[in-house]
């Protein structure tokens, strides 16, 4: 009898955690969408647009509590978004995007940020990864000078 109860409870815990991970949180979905805007702005070499996108990301990040994202990561993405929004040139914005991307990729692995596949892409020249909602490479680290440099490293479904 104890074995059956244990098996039932274990199954319930596994099912509940799988269910929790399959549901997306609207705040995290919006954060991912804001991230994509930052990435796209960097890829288009537009400093002003990138600053505005990073400000929107920061606004969304400020509505998220540490129950959704651990405090360390939340502080990190806020600091990176603030750095991107305040940077005076595209190179400085791109420098802060490295760390922002790393934390967001980890967040995407732990939470459902999109109903569609998220493509984790990597540029060997920049030695940096980023997320995209499409398979086509649009490199945020080099923009127009090397827009298609990189490859899909993994997929998060």
The number of domains in the chain is 1
Across 49-69, b (16+ Cβ under 10 Å) vs e yields ebbebbbbbbebbeebeeeeb
Question: Is the CB of residue 40 less than 8 Å from the CB of residue 54?
Answer: no
Is there a domain that residue 69 lies in?
A: yes
Q: Is 152 a residue whose pLDDT tops 90?
A: yes
Range of the domain at 70: 25-156
CA 126 from chain centre, in angstroms, equals: 18
Given a cut of 90, is residue 85 above it in pLDDT? yes
Residue 72 inside a domain? The answer is yes
Give me the residues paired with residue 55 across strands: none
Where do we find the tokens 């940020």?
113
Question: DSSP class of residue 68?
Answer: T
Q: What is the pLDDT of residue 65?
A: 80
pTM for this predicted structure: 0.84
Has residue 16 been placed in a domain?
no
Dist. CA 84–CA 140, nearest whole Å: 13
pLDDT for res 81 = 98
Does residue 24 or residue 26 have the better pLDDT? 26
């Amino acid at each position: 009898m104890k074995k059956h109860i244990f098996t039932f409870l274990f199954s319930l815990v596994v099912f509940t955690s799988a269910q929790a991970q399959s549901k997306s949180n609207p705040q995290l979905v919006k954060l991912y969408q804001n991230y994509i805007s930052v990435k796209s702005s960097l890829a288009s070499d537009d400093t002003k647009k990138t600053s505005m996108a990073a400000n929107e990301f920061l606004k969304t990040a400020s509505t998220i509590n540490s129950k959704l994202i651990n405090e360390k990561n939340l502080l990190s993405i806020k600091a990176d978004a603030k750095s991107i929004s305040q940077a005076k040139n595209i190179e400085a914005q791109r420098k802060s995007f490295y760390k922002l991307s790393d934390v967001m990729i980890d967040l995407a692995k732990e939470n459902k940020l999109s109903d569609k596949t998220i493509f984790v892409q990597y540029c060997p020249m920049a030695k940096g990864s980023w997320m995209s909602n499409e398979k086509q490479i649009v490199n945020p680290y080099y923009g127009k000078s090397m827009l298609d440099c990189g490859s899909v490293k993994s997929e998060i479904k």
